[in-house]
Every structure is written in structure tokens, then in C-alpha cells.
Amino acid sequence: MAKIYNSVTELVGHTPLVEFKRLAKELGLKGRVIGKLEYFNPAGSHKDRIALEIIEQAEARGDISPDKTTLVEFTSGNTGIALASFAAAKGYPFRIGLQPGVSVERLKLLEAYNAEIIPVEPELLAPVYEKGIEAFGPIIERFIEETPNGYATLQLSNPDNVNAHYKHTGPEIWEDTEGEVGVFIGGVGTGGSTHGVSKYLKEQNGDIKTIVVQPDPESVANSAVEGATDGGFHGIHQVKDENGLTAMTPDNFNENVIDEYQYITYAETLKAIHLLAKYEGIFVGASAGASLAIAIKEARKAENEGKMIVPLLPDNGERYLSEDIQRVRHELEDSVEL
């Protein structure tokens, strides 16, 4: 029987779980580390799921249609790339403003998908450095004002971001592990993935533990990646410190479905990326490396003997080749143990 898809949008989701058996053997791990490879989505990351859900739910409500609407977003990358791809596939014009520190690859991908890059004046961007996501509101409002029939996808607060992971990513992990998943690990940008996945998993089995990986503040302050304001972790940031939730906590984050917060340094992140490439032939981005590093630490614990530990691996390392982490890592990574 012929198997021909009608659109790239039909290829979103159903990403594979892969058990890292050689890595476990080499490191002598007790737990089973099983990565959810989100770069198998057609535009290359877990953000494909939310871009599609946000667009298709807005279409179903009658809020947008390709003949009248221009989609608008302010983002640092993967959501923009996913929106740009699916906007093109569905016939929407798409305008995007870029957060500071976007990698060259991401910018070029946006251009390749025909997105219109909106120049953002330094005065408008300045508060982003100080206040983080709180400062996004006025920028998006400006974009909407200047875009006739503009529709902002608002990934930080749009519930369809969380719903995409609750409806698909969580169930996929549950079904593919036949309900055996014991620990889930993810980082927080908008909060959509950890919230949606963890909510679903905990509804199936309240004993499943969810750990949020947080970039070590020291690594962020003294970024090893030139020009990166996020320490090179790309897409994830700290949401909780000793005083509670930080100003970087988006509406879509939900602390009620989180059991633990653990810090990871950039050096540990690079080490995890390197080990995965070396023993499994899989090359992931930094946010994936951060979750994987926590997974490795968890898999060393006696209490996790035989348990399935699933880190969400959002994207591929090819998206950051210009950062030359293969060179940076020798300076940092060789000095750490995982």
C-alpha cells in the first residue's frame, strides 16, 4: 500500500526512545538511561509539537486562516524555526523578532524557511537582559500593532504549548516504556514540555519522579560560549532558587508537577554531549546534554538500579556547530566527572 504523506506537518511527533546501553556499560550505570530523541521531528526539535498544536487549535477556533492572518512571535530559535516551517507548509506569512544570542544556524534556518525577521531596536531589547521574559510583552505588542491581522502565538503563556506535550509527548513516553518509566528529566524554557509531560505521566502513576535541570548560575554568568547570554545552555534557564520561583518563571511552568530541581554546570553538559556522541553516535544540543548529565548522575544511584530514566533531548548538536563546542570542551569537560 502506498505510504505518501500530504504535508510535513503530518510528520510531527512519534519520536523514538533509545536506550543508551553502550554508555551505561562504559560508565557502569545502575539505572537504564533512555533518551527521547526530539530532533526526529521534521523541523528538528520538540518545538514542532507546540508550533503545530498552537496553529491548528487557533485554526479550529476560527481565530486564524492563511488567507487573512500573519503569524508573529518573539523567540530565540526552535519555536521560530518550527513556526516558520509549518507557516510555510500551510501558507501563512510569518514574522519573527529574535532574542539576543541566537546562533548563526538558527538565523539561517529562519531565513531558509522564508520567515521575515523583524528588526528589534536596542532600546526595546535592553529590558530583556535585565528582566528576562517579563520584558517580552511590550515587544510582542509592538509587533502586533505593526502587523495587519497579526496573530501572536505566545508560547510562554499559550496553554496549547503545554497541551501539545500532555496530548502527545507524555503518552508516547508512557506507551513506549509500557508504563515502566520511573524518572523523567527536562529543562525549562517556556515550561511547556516538563509541565505537559510530567502532568500526563503523574496521572498514570503518581510515583514517577520529575526532575528539572537548571543551568548552574556561575556557568551562565561566566559563559564559555562567546556572545551567549544564557551560558550556552540554549533554551533552558533557572526557574527556582533558594528564595523560590525566579522572575524567569513563565506562565506555562507548573511547579506542582515537579519533584526536584538539580543544577548542572556547562562543563558537565559538554561532557554528557561528548559521551553520548562517543558511545552512542548521537550528537545533541546543550539543553539535551544538561538533561542527559542529570540522567547519568541519577543512573549511578543505588535507589535507581534497573529503573527507566528518561531525559527529554530537545534538539540536535548540528544546530550549534558554529559554537565550536568540540574545541571548547577540551578546556572545560576534561576537568569534570559525571
Ligand X SMILES: Cc1ncc(COP(=O)(O)O)c(C=O)c1O
What are the catalytic residues? 47, 287
- 274 vs 307 by CB, closer to ligand X: 274
Candidate ranges 6-14, 190-198, 204-212, 261-269; the one touching ligand X (CB under 6 A)? 190-198
276 near ligand X (CB under 6 A): no
Minimum CB–partner distance for residue 188 and ligand X (Å): 5
- Closest residue by beta carbon to ligand X: 235
**Contacting residue, 69, 78, 214, 265, with ligand X by CB under 6 A:** 78
Residue 16's alpha-carbon distances to 46, 83, 101, 118, 281, in angstroms, are 12, 22, 30, 35, 15
- 24 vs 164 by CB, closer to ligand X: 164
Q: How far apart are CA 154 and CA 190, in angstroms?
A: 10
- 98 vs 188 by CB, closer to ligand X: 188
User: Collapsing DSSP states into helix, strand and coil, what is residue 213?
Assistant: strand
192 near ligand X (CB under 6 A): yes
110 near ligand X (CB under 6 A): no
315 near ligand X (CB under 6 A): yes
* 7: number of Cβ within 10 Å: 11
Minimum CB–partner distance for residue 26 and ligand X (Å): 26
Question: Alpha helices, DSSP H only, in the chain?
Answer: 21-27, 47-61, 78-90, 104-112, 122-131, 136-145, 159-164, 170-176, 192-204, 217-221, 266-280, 286-299, 325-332
Candidate ranges 56-64, 96-104, 145-153, 231-239; the one touching ligand X (CB under 6 A)? 231-239
Minimum CB–partner distance for residue 121 and ligand X (Å): 23
Minimum CB–partner distance for residue 116 and ligand X (Å): 21
* 298: number of Cβ within 10 Å: 24
Count of residues of this chain found to bind ligand X when the rule CB under 6 A is applied? 17
C-alpha cell at 202: 503523574
Q: How far apart are CA 91 and CA 66, in angstroms?
A: 5
190 near ligand X (CB under 6 A): yes
Residue type at 253 in one-letter notation: F
User: What totals of helices (H) and strands (E) does the chain contain, helices first?
Assistant: 13, 12
85 near ligand X (CB under 6 A): no
Residue ranges in contact with ligand X by CB under 6 A: 45, 77-78, 187-193, 234-236, 285, 287, 314-315
